[in-house]
Amino acid sequence: MPRPTDDVPDLWRHPWAPDLAVVGALLLWALVSGVVGGFLSVSLGMVMVLPLLWRRRAPLVAALGVALVCLVQVAVMDQPHPADVAVPIAVYSAAAFGTRTESRLVLLLGLLGAGIAALDWRNVYVHPLDQLPQIAFQAFFMAMFLGVAWVLGDVVRRRKAVLARLAEQNAALARDHAQRTRLASQEERAAIAREMHDVVAHSLAVVVVQADGALYAARRALDAPPGIAADRAALERAAQTLETLAETARSSLADTRRLVGVLREEGSGAEFSPLQELAYLDELAQGVRDSGVAVDVVVRGQVDDLPREVDLAAYRVVQESLTNVLKHAGPHATVDVDVLRTPAVLLVRVTDDGAGQASDGDGEGNGILGMSERVEVLGGTVHAGPRTRGGWEVVASLPVEPAPSAGGAA
């Protein structure tokens, strides 16, 4: 995401650049227009303009410097100077970049200077009372000019203050959002811990009881007197108990994985289908097709006898990938879902030709991180990233354990 300053012209990223340009233009103006007045006029104009170099960093100092040169002008000259345009610029700068007190002080100095200038620039050969209307008009005109400059600077200062407040509010909202996210994550962990405790505690209790029963039956069969055949019924009960124990453990593991998946992926695509097996990929794909995205599903090999956790993880990979396609790929994207079962691994590949996705998820679910965690628990790998020809791809490889025989092994 581009930074906010990326859209700002390079000139405004360095405040000294426009100030240097303004001072340079005014120096050239003072030099050209002051040639007629001689060396004194040129020197006075240049000295009056130079303080404007500090109009942003120290607006009050710059304004006082201009005022001091204006007093020298009143003492040595009885007429306006082209460099007097520095006065409204100093007033504007004080209002825009200084504090409210500094801006008001500079405005008062400017108004006082307007009155002094009107008196100084009068016709010395005519009595002041006879020129009173003209002097008043000149002072009023210069005061209005300075007032307009001050108002413009004050508007700029207020706008900067509003932008600063908005930036602070945005920062506060970002902190609040981060805090809410942390609290939600903590609540989610607490909920997972509670649910996991219920599931695991119950399952382990069943496993312990079944294991004790199997141990008792096996010990009874083995403790038969020498020369007497082992108790066939006791061995049968031990075998049945072990089968029940193994089934309970598998079911508990699957329930635990399903519980963690539901709690961590709320809102990230679970609405497609309540059935989480590769046998229901067509229903999952149809839900995406109904949203306007073309999906092609190809399953090669036998996937009906997959281990339950592998089946669930592969389904989740496809589900999360399709969810990301809906969120990020665009309205006209097409998706290919390819599932290949080999004797050693299960390969899942989901590709699209859309606008691309964010590699770290969208902030609502676990995204690719969740897929990676789920697959890595089973010893597999996940690769996700942009395609060279455009679009996005997710490739998951999950090891497939041999399915147990129908008769069961001791």
Identity of the highest mean pLDDT range in 40-44, 70-74, 242-246, 326-330: 70-74
With 0-12 CB in 10 A as exposed, 13-18 as middle and 19+ as buried, what is 61?
A: middle
- The predicted-structure confidence for 125-182, as pLDDT tens digits, reads as follows 666 676 788 888 888 888 898 999 999 999 998 998 899 899 988 988 888 888 888 8
For the cut 90, the answer to whether the pLDDT of residue 395 exceeds it is: yes
Give the CA distances from residue 283 to residues 51, 60, 295, 321, in Å, rounded to whole numbers and listed in that order.
Answer: 76, 73, 11, 15
- What is the arrangement of strands in the sheet containing 334-341, beginning at the earlier edge strand? 294-300, 334-341, 345-352, 392-399, 381-386
Q: What is the pLDDT of residue 336?
A: 93
pLDDT > 70? residue 85:
yes
Q: What confidence score (pLDDT) does residue 183 get?
A: 81
Residue 361 binned pLDDT confidence (cut-offs 50, 70, 90): very low
In this model, does residue 192 exceed pLDDT 70? no
Report which of residues 9 and 178 the model is more confident about. Answer: 178
- pLDDT band (50, 70, 90) for residue 398: very high
Weakest mean pLDDT among 108-117, 162-171, 284-293, 311-320: 284-293
Q: What tens digit of pLDDT does each residue of 316-356 get?
A: 888 888 877 777 776 678 899 999 999 899 999 999 887 66
pLDDT of residue 31: 76
> What percent of the chain has a predicted confidence (pLDDT) above 70?
68
The two tokens of residue 125 are: 């050969």
Check residue 252 and give its pLDDT. Answer: 66
Q: What is the pLDDT of residue 409?
A: 37
Question: Residue by residue, what is the 3-state secondary structure of the chain?
Answer: CCCHHHHCCHHHHCCHHHHHHHHHHHHHHHHHHCCCCCHHHHHHHHHHHHHHHHCCCCHHHHHHHHHHHHHHHHHHCCCCCHHHHHHHHHHHHHHHHCCHHHHHHHHHHHHHHHHHHHHHCCCCCCCHHHHHHHHHHHHHHHHHHHHHHHHHHHHHHHHHHHHHHHHHHHHHHHHHHHHHHHHHHHHHHHHHHHHHHHHHHHHHHHHHHHHHHHHHHHHHHHCCCCCCCCCHHHHHHHHHHHHHHHHHHHHHHHHHHHHHHHHHCCCCCCCCCCCCCHHHHHHHHHHHHCCCCEEEEEEECCCCCCCHHHHHHHHHHHHHHHHHHHHHHCCCCEEEEEEEECCCEEEEEEEECCCCCCCCCCCCCCHHHHHHHHHHHCCCEEEEEECCCCCEEEEEEEECCCCCCCCCCC
pLDDT of residue 389: 82
More confident position, 229 or 188 = 188
What's the CA gap between 84 and 74, in Å, rounded? Answer: 11
Whole-number pLDDT of residue 71: 87
Contact 55, 19 (CB under 8 A): yes
Return the pLDDT at 132: 81
Residue-range domains of the chain with CATH = 272-399 (3.30.565.10)
pLDDT in tens, 213-268: 677 767 776 666 655 555 667 677 777 767 766 776 666 666 666 666 655 554 44
Please tell me the predicted confidence (pLDDT) of residue 387: 86
- Average confidence (pLDDT) over 350-376: 67
- End-to-end CA gap in the chain: 59
pTM of the model: 0.42
Choose from 42-51, 89-98, 289-298 the range with maximum mean pLDDT.
89-98
